[in-house]
Amino acid sequence: MEHHRYVIAVHGGAGAIASDPADASPYHRALKAVLAAGTELLEHGAAALDAVEAAVVLLEDCPLFNAGRGAVYTADARHELDAAVMRGQDLAAGAVACVQGVRNPVALARSVMQSSGHVLMVGAGARCFAQQMGLAIESDAWFHTDERLAELRRAQGRQVPSAAPAPLLAQGTQGTQGTVGAVALDVSGHLAAAVSTGGLTNKRPGRAGDSAVIGAGIYANDLSCAVVATGTGEHFIRCAAAHDIHARMLYRGQAMQEAAADVVFGELQRMGGVGGVIAVDAHGAVSMPFNSAGMYRGLQRQGEAAWTAIFPEDYSGM
């Protein structure tokens, strides 16, 4: 069996991000810890899917990011969580949307993929399935952060009386760090992707974004690439962003970097969409384009030190 050089890339959301280095340092530390966990698994021959799930679990448990413990609030001051996983080897996928109380929605998404016979489960039914699978259920207090509640109050305070709906804070804007995600190539040459999010601040109860939609916020295929997205989810859904990158590579013959840039700076931006993607191809090349002010992101290759960034960088050499 051919041995491949593994690589893992992660992101913690895209959007308007404070430029103070003191404020940024916790994000760099968190991303490097996440990369270390994923790399440890890949170093010992674990499958790409195991590595990306482990990475996203850590991101969900970190209150800095809009997923799991740091999730934003809905209009009725609750947390509704979306997540998905996909395996490039056989296109197996699992997703959940609008789940409440599940500590690690990405683990539930994997259980949906492996044990439910379905691809997408939502709401109370998905939570019940999580309990049947023995996954951790937490109280509302676990998911609370003062910053997220303040974001909700600010959003609702801008609502004009009798006007509807209240303004949404898009993923990755005005303090909301959007989605979290990970993509990886393992030593066997297989790709995988995982994504999780709390969605939009002040979203209507029952709203699901691109993270739960296979082909929009996530896609993985060993023939092309593994992709996860972050940003204004409705736009990513409408242009099937993640699958479009795969399709451009497979049918148009574009390199992944070109395909990803065309989607993020072309199709997505023409629709008014804001955000970015991280992607790794079957040869281990990585692309991280975004059209927002910044995107929390990190990368680690076999035998190399971890790299993390927030603001625009030169993507060459990835």
Domain map (residue ranges) of the chain: 7-157+166-309
Q: Could you report the per-residue pLDDT of 96-148, keeping only the tens digit for each?
A: 999 999 999 999 999 999 999 999 999 999 999 999 999 999 999 999 999 99
What Rg value do the Cα atoms of the chain yield, rounded?
18
Confidence label for 310 from pLDDT (cuts 50, 70 and 90): very high
- Which residues contact residue 247 at a Cβ distance below 8 angstroms, ignoring those fewer than 6 apart? none
d(CA 262, CA 161): 41
Angle at 218 between CA 188 and CA 17, to 5 degrees: 110
| 209 marked as binding residue | yes
**Could you tell me how many residues make up the chain?**
318
Q: How many percent of the chain have pLDDT more than 70?
A: 90
- Pick 7-157+166-309's CATH classification: 3.40.228.10, 3.60.20.30, 3.10.450.50, 3.30.930.10: 3.60.20.30
- Pick from 26-40, 270-284, 300-314: least confident: 300-314
pLDDT of residue 1: 56
Position 317 pLDDT exceeds 50: no
Residue from 74, 173, 179, 197 carrying the catalytic annotation: 179
| 207 marked as binding residue | yes
Position 301 pLDDT exceeds 80: yes
Burial annotation 299-313 (CB, 10 A radius, 16+ → b, else e):
bbbeeeebbbbbeee
Residue 113 in tokens: 């993929």
Of 175, 187, 237, 186, nearest in space to 211 by CA: 237
| 231 marked as binding residue | yes
Handedness of CA 216, 222, 223, 227 (dihedral sign): positive
Q: Is 179 a residue of the active site?
A: yes
Kindly report the number of other CB atoms within 10 A of residue 139's CB atom. Answer: 8
pLDDT of residue 116: 98
Contact by Cβ (8 Å): 169, 176: yes
Q: Could you report the per-residue pLDDT of 161-202, keeping only the tens digit for each?
A: 443 444 444 443 444 548 999 999 999 999 999 999 999 999
Residue 28 in tokens: 């760099």
pLDDT of residue 289: 96
